[in-house]
Amino acid sequence: MIPEIFKPDSSLSPFVKCYWTLESPREKTPSRNTIVPDGCMKLIFHYGDLYKYHPEDGNSVNLPRCFLIGQLTRPYEVEPTGETGTFFVCFHPNGFLPFTTIPIKEMENTAVALEKLFGKDAQEIEQSILNAGSTAERIHHIETFLVNRLTKTEAVDYIVTSTVETILTANGQLSVHELSSQHKINRRQLVRKFSSAIGLSPKQLSKTIRLQAALKTLLTKNTTSLTDLAYENDYFDQAHFIKDFKEFTGITPKEFYGEHLKMSLIFETDE
């Protein structure tokens, strides 16, 4: 179950990171997947069978067929109920703000039905995506929809945008003090701007990006020393790394090796 990833049109590239699809017959689909926070909100359209969400309280529920997943601050465990056919729109960390009137912070760790987001326009875009015969058609439909809704360009905060770019470039290894100093903005102002535009604080986004960098190292390198991995990603020590790792994945780094790692990182969205 390997995702296919597509770049957005240049008119949407400041907001949309990429589009991607996952398709798999049931017998080749893992029983459960852990979606690890990555700092990006996503529109998700299940044109295959539905997925279940397994919260920590054990009361699993079916996810909507089409929804937005808000910023994640903890692992989000899902399970396919049949064949997987899913189209994702992955936004940059501050990319969804111009398309919504609902406060970003209110959507944290939540699957939000499209009707709540887009009102009467939701059904039309849902049906267009679900009935499309190809990924190219789905991309055409969603890009037309998003461009038509892109009227809140004043919502784009260039301090936030440039600070996010700095966080990504540094793999989340800069402190909030360093970020505010580089961008010549008061620390409290920066935190307020991030909460409004991203739904995460600069510290939370940095922790998320740094953990993602560590996960990529686990996936792409033969790393056997957790201490080396911790220091490579600028954690204070191995205990600090393990604490953050468990916060975002739900398990320890040692438990995360092997097949579980590969299943979880199916949901990674780098181009």
What is the per-residue pLDDT across 6-21, written as a single tens digit (0 to 9) for each? 999 999 999 999 999 9
Task: Report which of 63, 66, 39 is spatially closest to residue 53, judged by C-alpha positions.
Answer: 63
Tell me the two tokens of residue 54: 């397994």
Q: Which two tokens stand for residue 159?
A: 């301090």
**Contact yes or no for 1/30 (Cβ under 8 A):** yes
For position 37, what pLDDT does the model report?
A: 94
Alpha-carbon Rg for the chain in angstroms = 18
User: Residue 124: which residues within 8 A CB-CB, separation 6 or more?
Assistant: none
Q: What is the Cα–Cα distance from 168 to 95, expressed in whole angstroms?
A: 14
Mean pLDDT of each 10-residue bin along the chain, 271 residues long? 86 95 74 88 96 88 96 93 93 94 94 94 96 96 95 79 96 95 95 95 96 82 74 85 90 70 49 47
* HSE-CB of 190 using CA atoms within 13 angstroms: 24
Give me the pLDDT at residue 266, please. Answer: 45
**Could you tell me the domains of the chain?**
4-152 (2.60.120.10), 158-267 (1.10.10.60)
pLDDT score recorded for residue 236: 82
**pLDDT on residue 28:** 61
pTM over cut 0.85: yes
